[in-house]
Structure 1
Amino acid sequence: MEIGISTFVETLPDVHTGETISHAERLREVVEEIVLADQVGLDVYGVGEHHRKDYAASSPAVVLAAAATQTKSIRLTSAVTVLSSADPVRVFQDFATLDGLSNGRAEIMAGRGSFIESFPLFGNDLDDYNELFEEKLQLLLQLREAETITWEGKFRPSIQERGVYPRPVQQPLPVWIGSGGNQESVVRAGLLGLPLVLAIIGGRPAQFAPLVELYQRAAAHAGHDPGKLTVASHSHGFVGDVEEEAVEKFFLPTQAGMNIIGRERGWGHYSRATYDAARSPEGALYVGSPDTVASKIIALRKQVGITRFLLHVPLGTMPHNEVMRAIELLGTEVAPRVRREIAEWEAAQAR
């Protein structure tokens, strides 16, 4: 069971002071967070790609590269790379470079993108949303298999017998499929034999179990061994020393962040009642003391089959020292308990 962190590098106004941190300062903070996550024994850190004012990371590979030579063990991934509006050749080169700098710890989490700002920015038509991803994913997978590429598609100029460099340390460079719970994307990942990341950020996490089963059936149908495939969860949360304090610290930034997105997408108001329901044992918000968060992650593993858990923190803007403490607690208290109890549970299952 792998435990890690994900971030969109938010730069929303602080809910208490009204001040907005600069993109530059927040980027430097994230590098410090990655270094700490490595030091406390977390397995993975993911940075999401966005192209809007309230998120600072339009180039996850660059952010991760800034931490690569300051870390030793932690895996470094996008969360996600909006592949539909990107050039797969450049994506591959960026993450192959990251893989070299980190000595084989880079990963690409490819998605179609739930935010659409990158499409007009890079001259892509939203009417081609699905076709763009399909074609660019095929090219990305071909790039990691062969040093010299010949390729022709609909949306990108053709490539004739061209070498693509640098080559990564890992062969092949890991590519994950990110999904918000769409059955089509889950089946795609299974048929391709690629690891799957589910954004479990609402409702009841247990409801995602059928999607994991569908993914495994698709993988088996295509001749892949489902037992060798990894399923991850990307979920919002926060860890604090004391239950009540953690709950209160995380509420207002979360409410602010969710209501900004909600107004854009026509969601209902994110209230305290919504928050409290989400942090219940059956909800999708992983917030509270180390014991509370560990218990919910363990339940997610048992109920859904998740083998990698990414805690997305912060959701809005929070003080850097509070985020650092949450990372420390996740690595030193939550992760060891989760790994130990899951190992014991799996051993009992095997008997």
Structure 2
Amino acid sequence: MGQEKNSNFEIGIYTLADMGPDPFTGHTVNAKQRVNEIIKAAQLADEAGLDVFGVGEHHRLDYAVSSPAVILAAIARETQQIKLTSTTSVLSTLDPVRLFEDFATLDLLSNGRAEILAGRGAFIESFPLFGYSTNDYDELFTEHMDLLLQLNNNKTVTWSGNFRSPLKDAEIAPRPLQEQLPIWIGVGGTPESAVRAGKFGVGMALAILGGDPNRFKPLVELYRQAGKEAGHLPEALQVAVTGHTYIAETSQQAKNEFYPYYSNYWYYVNRQRGFGTKMTRNEFEQMASPNTALFVGSPEQIVEKILRQYELFGHRRFLAQVDIGGLPFEKVEKNIELLSTEVAPRIRKILGN
């Protein structure tokens, strides 16, 4: 049923719940089917012994999930051991009290498996939706993170800021089953974000979607240095890596199968941002080459890429996004199977299971 787990290095999967058309058939699944498939993927990951399952937040009709806590609560009742996290919660435009209480409730439902991964979000549609201004992009995130950490640390909170009403001896309920919820910050590539995560003393999840992973090493060093200078213990400064992943029996099979979906994914994501050009096969081959951060290949190659990044970052968690670009669910299932049976055991053995 599952693999013996390494307490030091965790392997999991996450979804952003995008609903893109299948590039071969043009068919797009509806939100109900997408949500059902996400719950099924979490069940499979749990049964296979993976460590973490993440669900992202978007507020667009081409994404199926706007409330990770609700989806994760459904998953909590269908799983036994896997940790459940947002990937990410758009903290800039969420009320921190509501976010904390939702995930504290999830922690009770899941018997202590809830986590929060907070980020600023790749899109900005949540700002007008919830009455915030993008002019306050950074300040909102910093203030909301400060409050979220105080809520996590204290049963009653007195607090004041610039963007929401103050709290005076406010009771924050329910309390999670864990003493504190694990909280991470998602970082896309800016030094400022890495330093902020270090100063707060929370985990840092790096979204490494392509290119040479070496370029992220300075961010990890900045993060750990900022955390040390802020007085946080080294063990509190955990690093995770997230990335697009497709695994097949051979490297060539993986690239041949994944290219149409990956090209499709970037085409519709970039169109959402106002531009869209098709990725050529040559561009894809360069992105999937052995020294890059795109996790496409045989199980052996995926292991090599994870270990190479481990040498660079000393991270403790790898999360694979395996369901993008309109991939049929049977291919997602196969990726979960190969990740859990071929990749995870080798990583755990090499890193000292």
Q: TM-score, normalised by structure 2?
A: 0.94
Residue in 2 aligned with 1:14? 22
Q: Which residue of 2 aligns with 1:192?
A: 200
Matched, 1:334 2:321: no
Contact 1:180 1:200 in 2 (8 A): yes
Amino acid at match of 1:207: R
- Answering whether residue 161 of structure 2 is matched by residue 157 of structure 1, we say no
Residues 1:259 and 2:267 are matched in the alignment: yes
Q: 2 CA distance for matches of 1:39 and 1:285?
A: 26
2:258 paired residue among 250, 259, 282: 250
CA contact (8 A) 1:206 1:304 kept: no
The letter for the 2-side match of 1:8 is L
> What runs of 5+ residues in structure 1 fail to find an aligned partner?
345-351
Q: Could you tell me which runs of 5 or more consecutive residues in structure 2 were left unpaired when the two chains were aligned.
A: 1-8
Please tell me whether residue 294 in structure 1 is matched to residue 295 in structure 2: no
Q: Residue 143 in 1 paired to residue 151 in 2?
A: yes
Per-residue CA shift, 1:225-276, capped at 9, x if unaligned?
A: 3244210011111112333222222111111111222242657652222211
| Structure 2 counterpart of 1:283, from 289, 292, 303 | 292
Q: Which moved more, 1:227-236 or 1:165-174?
A: 227-236
The alignment yields a C-alpha RMSD, in angstroms, of 1.5
Question: Taking structure 1 as reference, are residues 297 and 265 closer, same or farther at Cα in structure 2, changes over 3 Å only?
Answer: farther
User: Which residue of the partner structure matches residue 129 of structure 1?
Assistant: 137
Q: Structure 2 counterpart of 1:274, which letter?
A: E
The answer to whether the 8 Å contact 2:189/2:219 transfers is yes
User: Do the aligned residues in 2 keep the contact of 1:205 with 1:304 (CA within 8 Å)?
Assistant: no
8 Å Cα contact 2:104/2:114 also seen in 1:
yes
Q: Which residue does the alignment assign to 2:282?
A: 273
Q: Is the 8 A contact 1:262 1:269 kept in 2?
A: no
Please point out which of 112, 123, 127 is paired with 1:115: 123
Q: Post-superposition shift, 1:161?
A: 2.1
Equivalent residue of 1:343, what SS?
A: coil
Instruction: Describe the superposition over 1:161-204 as per-residue Cα deviations: whole angstroms up to 9, x where unpaired.
Output: 22121110111111101110111111111122111001101221
Matched, 1:181 2:163: no
| SS of the residue 2:170 aligns to | strand
The answer on whether the counterparts of 1:212 and 1:305 sit within 8 Å (CA) in structure 2 is no
- Report the number of matched residues: 344
Other-structure match for 2:6: none
Q: Indicate the SS of the match to 1:214.
A: helix
Amino acid at match of 1:2: E
Q: Which residue of 1 aligns with 2:5?
A: none
Query: Residue 51 of structure 2 aligns with which residue?
Result: 43
Q: Is the 8 A contact 1:5 1:45 kept in 2?
A: yes
1:100 to 108, 111, 115: 108
> CA deviation digits over 1:286-311, x for unaligned, max 9?
01221111111111111232221111
Q: How does 1:16-95 map to 2 (within 5 A)?
A: 16-95=24-103
Q: Residues of 1 paired with 2:236 and 2:156: CA distance? A: 29
Residues 286-338 of structure 1: CA deviation (Å, up to 9, x unaligned):
01221111111111111232221111112211111110110111011101101
Find 1:319's aligned residue among 303, 328, 335: 328
From 204, 213, 222, the counterpart of 2:212: 204
Separation in 1, partners of 2:277, 2:22: 22
| Pairing 1:219-238 to 2, within 5 Å after superposition | 219-238=227-246
| Distance in 2 of aligned mates of 1:241 and 1:74 | 26
Please say if residues 268 and 276 of structure 2, whose CA atoms lie closer than 8 Å, have aligned partners that are also in contact.
no
Q: 1:109 Cα shift?
A: 0.4
Q: State the 1:83 CA deviation.
A: 0.4
CA distance in 1, matches of 2:219, 2:274: 24
Give, in whole Å, the separation in 1 of the partners of 2:67 and 2:284. Answer: 31
Give SS of 1:196's match.
strand
